[in-house]
């Protein structure tokens, strides 16, 4: 009976998740009347708007990842090493983006950094890009922090730091040559999650009026029939590729295997 229930639950889950995906993929292949074709995908991929917005979002994702690593790795390391009593506070702060909607954050940014403020970031395209990157980093913070913190938990941060210090290493060397390489798998997990978030993000990019992939998907969805489905499949594939890469990185990292 229990076994039957388990199979039933599994089947319901598969139907719930896979059926819409199948329906969407099947629809995206029906652009040419009567036969299956990749016309919708071709139309999306050759669209200069797609290339421009996707390229923009990829660059933004890379900057967001770099900023996230620079912010989160030293912070999580320092909290673990010197201020373990502050861990719950820092964890709470990093969780805030999950409970504060992106629209609230972006309106806060616009109010604080508008052209009449002391730091008028929205006054230029570059300034707005920087603001958007900070916004993306905020949205990805819960995932990045948790991934890095989990990575740090698998190594003896205190002893490794002291061992490196006794060999003459300063903080920069310790972070770049000892800590970061040992949590690289965790950092890359956070990086891929950040990448997936940035590629699909709509609210911040739309409200800051930047040519990102999220608003492009929305515009396409409002005006075309088959292309939005093709685009959704592409976005879905990118997200799953990121998840696959997380698995690969963890599996093929020699010293990560040793810690497992």
Partner 1 sequence: MSFLTLTHLEKTFGQNRVVKDFTLDIEKGEFISLLGPSGCGKTTVLRMVAGFEQPTAGDITIDGKDVTGLAANSRNIGMMFQAYALFPNMTVADNVAFGLKVKGAPRAEREARVAEMLALIGLSDLGGRYPFQLSGGQQQRVALARALAPRPSVLLLDEPLSALDAKVRVSLRNQIRQIQQDLGITTIFVTHDQEEAMSISDRIVVMNGGVAEQVGAPFEIYNRPRTKFVANFVGTLNTFEVEVADPASGRVTLAGQSLTLPDAPLAARAGETLSVALRPEALRLGRQPDAESLLTAQVTDVHFMGSVIRLKADLAGAAVSLDTFNRPDTPPPVVGSAVEVSLSGRDFILLKA
Q: Which residues contact 95 (CB under 8 A, 6 or more apart)?
A: 142
Q: Please report how close the Cβ of residue 20 comes to partner 1 at its closest, in angstroms.
A: 43
Using the contact rule CB under 8 A, the part of the chain among 14-22, 91-99, 100-108, 165-173 near partner 1 is 165-173
Q: How far is CA 170 from CA 62, 83, 135, 163, in A?
A: 28, 19, 32, 11
Q: Could you say which of 60, 133, 164, 208 contacts partner 1 (CB under 8 A)?
A: 164
- Number of other residues whose CB lies within 10 A of the CB of residue 241: 13
Using the contact rule CB under 8 A, the part of the chain among 31-39, 151-159, 226-234, 244-252 near partner 1 is 151-159
Using the contact rule CB under 8 A, the part of the chain among 44-52, 60-68, 228-236, 251-259 near partner 1 is 251-259
Nearer to partner 1, 27 or 171 (CB): 171
Nearer to partner 1, 25 or 173 (CB): 173
- By the rule CB under 8 A, 169 interacts with partner 1: yes
Nearer to partner 1, 9 or 163 (CB): 163
**Is 216 in a helix, a strand, or coil?**
helix
- By the rule CB under 8 A, 139 interacts with partner 1: no
**Is 36 in a helix, a strand, or coil?**
coil
Q: Please report how close the Cβ of residue 184 comes to partner 1 at its closest, in angstroms.
A: 8
- By the rule CB under 8 A, 73 interacts with partner 1: no
72 and 64 in contact (C-beta within 8 Å)? no
- By the rule CB under 8 A, 258 interacts with partner 1: yes
Round to whole Å and give the CA distance between 48 and 52: 6
**Is 241 in a helix, a strand, or coil?**
helix
Q: Could you say which of 34, 48, 85, 159 contacts partner 1 (CB under 8 A)?
A: 159
Structure tokens at 170: 């300063």
- By the rule CB under 8 A, 84 interacts with partner 1: no
- By the rule CB under 8 A, 160 interacts with partner 1: yes
Number of residues that bind partner 1 (CB under 8 A): 24
Round to whole Å and give the CA distance between 141 and 48: 32
Instruction: For tokens 């200069």, name the residue.
Output: 48
Work out the angle between the directed axes of helices 48-81 and 213-223 (0-180°, nearest 10): 140
220 and 228 in contact (C-beta within 8 Å)? yes
* Contacts with partner 1, residue ranges (CB under 8 A): 155-156, 159-160, 162-170, 173, 177-178, 181-182, 184, 254-255, 257-259
């Amino acid at each position: 009976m229990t076994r039957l229930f388990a199979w039933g639950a599994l089947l319901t889950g598969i139907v719930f998740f896979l059926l819409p995906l199948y329906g969407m993929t099947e629809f995206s292949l029906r652009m040419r009347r009567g036969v299956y074709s990749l016309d919708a995908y071709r139309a999306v991929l050759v669209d200069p708007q797609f290339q421009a917005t996707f390229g923009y979002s990829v660059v933004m994702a890379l900057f967001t990842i770099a900023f996230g690593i620079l912010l989160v790795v030293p912070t999580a390391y320092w909290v673990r090493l010197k201020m373990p009593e502050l861990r719950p506070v820092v964890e709470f702060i990093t969780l805030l983006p999950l409970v504060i909607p992106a629209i609230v954050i972006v309106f806060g940014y616009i109010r604080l950094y508008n052209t009449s403020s002391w730091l008028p970031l929205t006054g230029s395209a570059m300034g707005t890009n920087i603001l958007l990157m900070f916004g993306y980093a905020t949205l990805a913070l819960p995932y990045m922090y948790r991934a890095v913190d989990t990575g740090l938990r698998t190594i003896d941060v205190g002893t490794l730091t002291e061992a490196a210090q006794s060999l003459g290493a300063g903080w920069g060397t310790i972070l770049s040559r000892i800590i970061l390489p040992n949590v690289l798998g965790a950092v890359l997990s956070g990086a891929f999650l950040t990448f997936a978030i940035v590629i699909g993000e709509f609210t911040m990019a739309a409200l800051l009026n930047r040519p990102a992939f999220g608003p492009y998907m929305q515009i396409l969805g409002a005006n075309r029939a088959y292309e939005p489905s093709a685009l959704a499949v592409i976005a879905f594939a990118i997200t799953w590729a990121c998840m696959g890469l997380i698995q690969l990185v963890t599996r093929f990292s020699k010293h990560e295997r040793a810690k497992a």
